[in-house]
């Protein structure tokens, strides 16, 4: 809810929204998605990940 005069969201509204996300039914799904993204990023940046290989190939081309 935005204040009509200032166009600013009140801190209570922000706090309630964050609390709802952290404690509500959505929190488990959000945490699962974050963990999945984190695992994917770790894989891509690992020694055998495609991002690591792409950067290595690029570095070899510069030499």
pLDDT, tens digit only, all 63 positions of the chain: 777 778 898 889 899 888 888 887 878 888 888 899 888 888 777 877 788 788 788 788 876
Phi, psi for 12 (deg, rounded to 5): -65, -40
pLDDT for residue 63? 65
pLDDT for residue 15? 93
Phi, psi for 45 (deg, rounded to 5): -90, -5
Residues near 54 by Cβ (< 8 Å), separated by ≥ 6?
A: none
Report how far residue 36's alpha carbon sits from residue 15's, in angstroms, rounded to the nearest whole number: 26
Domain layout of the chain by residue ranges: 11-62
pLDDT for residue 42? 83
């Amino acid at each position: 809810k935005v204040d009509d005069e200032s166009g600013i969201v009140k801190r209570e509204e922000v706090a309630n929204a964050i609390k709802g996300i952290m404690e509500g039914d959505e929190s488990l799904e959000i945490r699962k998605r974050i963990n999945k993204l984190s695992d994917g990023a770790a894989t891509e940046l690992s020694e055998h990940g495609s991002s690591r290989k792409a950067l290595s190939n690029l570095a070899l081309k510069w030499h």
